[in-house]
Amino acid sequence: MAAFRVGARAVEGGRFQANGGGMASSRLQAPPKNPPNREEVALRGKPRSNHLAAAAKLRRRAGPMPLWRVAVFVSVALNVATLALLLYHYAAPPPPHHHHQHSRLTASSEGSLAAAARREDRTTMAPSTGKPAVTPDSVINLDHGDPTMFEAFWRETGDAAELVIPGWQTMSYFSDVTNICWFLEPELDQQVRRLHRTVGNAAVDGYHVLVGTGSTQLFMAALYALSPAAASAEPISVVSTAPYYSSYPAVTDFLRSGLFRWAGDASSFEGDDYIELVCSPNNPDGTIREAVLASKPGGKTVHDLAYYWPQYTAITKKADHDIMLFTVSKSTGHAGTRIGWALVKDRAIAEKMTKFVELNTIGVSKDSQLRAAKVLAAVSDGYEPSEADARVGARAPRLFDFGRRKMVERWSMLRAAAAASGIFTLPEETSGFCNFTNETAATNPAFAWLRCDREDVDDCASFLRGHKILTRSGAQFGADPRYVRVSMLDRDDAFDIFVRRLSSFKSGEGEADGVSTAIWEHV
Ligand SMILES: Cc1ncc(COP(=O)(O)O)c(C=O)c1O
């Protein structure tokens, strides 16, 4: 609207208000090709501008101008101005266009030329891309499970997962005040349920869907909700079978809560009251897990099913545990969107978990929720085409096919490299019948649980760091430091270099060519 306001001021200055005001159409909002600067506008608005000064001179020579001539002059001037603006609109090249299939969110504002022109003028920085590109000599950081492998898939999906959110939308704190989880966007609720029904990996009927800033926040919410309510109670023990996800102890204890505390390996736990964390397939070793303490009455379980998706493992049953955690970080690769969800059976627990998120972050970014919903919808569309796609015979890209193909390829490369090295071993491959694909499928974990068998190496992470490969030590998972966890989800270039480096190790060979530990231990 700024462009129009500028025009209106100039018109007001020239006392042509009535006609100018009537032209507030969206076309007139287009800025002229060389928009006047403020000073020009101010000058043009004053009667001492060149044209008006010339007219005044004429008037002085010829005496007072009759009213009808003033009217004709005004009318011609206005028509010429209108014509110029129209010509500009039709002749000017279109703004760099987004091949967005505009979601229903965009319809209201996207049509305006002013918005398009603003986009054209924009000189924003490109969004961040994560870790820098690598070369054969680079340090390869496979410490974190950063799921950039999936970028290649989403690059090919065109507008299927694109979203534009106008400035006025998603402003309220609230999403659905009738829902227990009042900050959950209904669209995300719906797409979460739809995807689970499509894949068949978790029951959703009779469950409350809760959203969190990543499933990490919902993990904390679950600990809060499952802790004893009595102020006098001792902190409840939080356990998980080793090797366990390294964030479990870190997140449990970092605020030294009086409600819960980390108590280590579930398989050696002896108390009666506990919260058992069951991660399946397990981070770091990819095993399929069940609760080991499930029979005790004072025990509660949280199932972290971040990797229970067809690209990683066979979907053998519809999980129906009391609390199940999922995340877009590992299902679709959108870790930066920071959206996780919980499926919770019990209403009171769902309310307490919601309370945690309310007190912690007053809800969860709606923008991220809408993006996650769009992404999940695109995944489901690949397997059950929308009516529109079906009508035109279009087929949306299939995420799980891509993911499985990639993981199979990477695992076979890694196994070959480990075998060639002669000093690294990997867990045995397992398989199962997948109800989603209707075929037997091997497990392709998101992490490799790599063991260094060289006798002189008792700290595999340090050994690999010496070869510019960053991994996470087994010690951080409650296991032997001869193991490391290696991310299998990085970009192709990093993965390829890693595999090449690994296969070049030989027993007795491979002294560090030099990354100082001090530099990298804080990365
Ligand atoms: C087992 C498991 N749960 C949860 C998470 C974290 O998920 P989010 O990014 O949604 O917080 C991870 C991330 O690596 C994970 O491995």
The 3-class secondary structure across 30-89, one letter per residue, is CCCCCCCCHHHHHHHCCCCCHHHHHHHHHHHHHCCCCHHHHHHHHHHHHHHHHHHHHHHH
Hey, which of 329, 341, 365, 447 would you mutate to test ligand 1's pocket, going by the most ligand atoms within 8 Å of its Cβ?
Answer: 329
Q: Cβ distance 20 to 11 under 8 Å?
A: yes
**DSSP string of 79-145?**
HHHHHHHHHHHHHSPPPPPP-----TTTHHHHT-HHHHHHHHH--PPPPP-SSPP--TTSPEE-SS-
Residue 66 has pLDDT above 70, yes or no: no
Nearest CA to ligand 1 atom 10: 214
Is pLDDT at 15 greater than 50 in this prediction? no
Task: Give residue 308 CA to ligand 1 midpoint distance, Å.
Answer: 12
- To test the ligand 1 pocket, which listed residue (247, 332, 376) has its Cβ within 8 A of the most ligand atoms? 247
Confidence grade of residue 392 (pLDDT, cut at 50, 70, 90): confident
pLDDT tens-digit profile of 91-121? 444 333 333 333 433 333 444 566 566 655 6
Span from the CA of 105 to the centroid of ligand 1 (angstroms): 29
Ligand 1 atom with minimal separation from the 328 CA: 10
What is the model's pLDDT at position 85? 52
CA distances from 471 to 34, 455, 474, 503, 519 (A): 56, 19, 9, 16, 14
Exposed / middle / buried, residue 420 (Cβ in 10 Å: 0-12, 13-18, 19+): middle
Q: Share the mean pLDDT of the chain.
A: 82
- Ligand 1 proximal residues by C-beta, below 6 Å: 145, 214-216, 245, 279, 283, 304, 306, 327, 329, 335, 340
By percentage, how much of the chain surpasses pLDDT 70? 73
Contact 424, 502 (CB under 8 A): yes
Report the separation in Å between the CA atom of 255 and the middle of ligand 1, taken as the mean of its atom positions. Answer: 19
CA distances from 35 to 40, 117, 122, 392, 426 (A): 9, 12, 16, 44, 66
In 234-327, at which residue ranges do the beta strands (DSSP E only) sit?
Answer: 236-240, 260-265, 274-279, 299-304, 323-327
What average pLDDT does range 333-349 have in this prediction? 98
Mean pLDDT in residue range 293-315 = 94
What is the model's pLDDT at position 162?
Answer: 96
Q: Closest ligand 1 atom, CA of 446? A: 16
**Nearest-atom index, ligand 1, CA of 212:** 10
What is the number of the ligand 1 atom nearest to the C-alpha of 245?
Answer: 1
- Residue 401: pLDDT above 70? yes
Q: Whose CA is nearest to atom 16 of ligand 1?
A: 283
For 187-223, what is each residue's pLDDT tens digit?
999 999 999 999 999 999 999 999 999 999 999 999 9
Q: What confidence category does residue 388 fall into, taking pLDDT thresholds of 50, 70 and 90? A: confident
Mean pLDDT of 359-386: 96
**Site to substitute for ligand 1 among 150, 252, 283, 368, most atoms within 8 A of C-beta:** 283
Q: Where is average pLDDT lowest: 234-238, 250-254, 291-295, 485-489?
A: 291-295
Max mean pLDDT range (50-54, 229-233, 510-514): 229-233
What confidence score (pLDDT) does residue 159 get? 92
Please tell me the residue having the least CA distance from ligand 1 atom 8.
Answer: 214
Atom of ligand 1 nearest to the CA of 339: 10
Q: How far apart are CA 445 and CA 159, in angstroms?
A: 30
Within 10 angstroms of residue 272's Cβ, the number of other Cβ atoms is 11
Q: From the CA of 427, how far away is ligand 1's center (Å)?
A: 22
Tokens of 118: 């603003």
Least confident residue range of 21-25, 442-446, 471-475, 500-504: 21-25
Query: Does residue 344 contact residue 300 with C-beta atoms inside 8 Å?
Result: no
CB atoms within 10 A of CB 397: 17
The dihedral over CA atoms of 310, 311, 313, 317, expressed in degrees to the nearest 10, equals -10
Rounded to whole angstroms, the Cα distance separating 379 from 71 reads 63
Distance 248 CA to ligand 1 centre (A): 10
pLDDT of residue 112: 57
pLDDT at 118: 60
Is 398's pLDDT higher than 70?
Answer: yes
Going from the Cα of 177 to the center of ligand 1, the distance in angstroms, rounded, reads 28
Closest CA to 501 of 489, 514, 510, 488: 510
Q: How far is the CA of 335 from the centre of ligand 1 (A)?
A: 9
CB count within 10 Å of CB 129 equals 10
Ligand 1 pocket mutation pick from 192, 245, 279, 338 by most atoms within 8 angstroms of CB: 245
Ligand 1 centre from 510 Cα, in Å? 33
Q: Atom 7 of ligand 1 has which residue's CA nearest to it?
A: 215
C-beta atoms surrounding 80 within 10 Å: 10
pLDDT in tens, 111-165: 456 656 665 566 678 888 888 889 999 999 999 999 999 999 999 998 999 999 9
Specify the higher pLDDT residue, 394 or 433: 433
Does residue 296 or residue 356 have the better pLDDT?
Answer: 356
Ligand 1 binding pocket mutation candidate from 327, 328, 369, 376 (most atoms within 8 A of CB): 327
State the amino acid at position 208 in one-letter form. Answer: H
Q: Are 475 and 453 spatial neighbours (Cβ–Cβ below 8 Å)? A: no
389 and 382 in contact (C-beta within 8 Å)? no
Check residue 114 and give its pLDDT.
Answer: 64
Residue 343 alpha carbon to ligand 1 centre in Å: 15
Name the more confident of 382 and 96. 382
What pLDDT score was predicted for residue 396?
Answer: 86
The verdict on pTM exceeding 0.85 is: no
Measuring from atom 14 of ligand 1, which residue has the nearest CA? 145
pLDDT category at 230 given cuts 50, 70, 90 is confident
How far, in Å, is the centroid of ligand 1 from the Cα of 39?
56
Query: Which residue out of 146, 192, 215 has the highest number of ligand 1 atoms within 8 Å of its CB and is therefore the one to mutate?
Result: 215
Model confidence at 169, in pLDDT bands (50, 70, 90)? very high
Cα–chain center distance at 181: 20
> Residue 227 contacts by C-beta under 8 Å, 6 or more apart in sequence?
233, 235, 236, 257, 259, 260, 275
Return the minimum-mean-pLDDT range out of 35-39, 123-127, 186-190, 371-375: 35-39
For residue 511, give Cα distances in angstroms to 35, 180, 455: 65, 58, 14
Å from CA of 332 to ligand 1 middle: 12
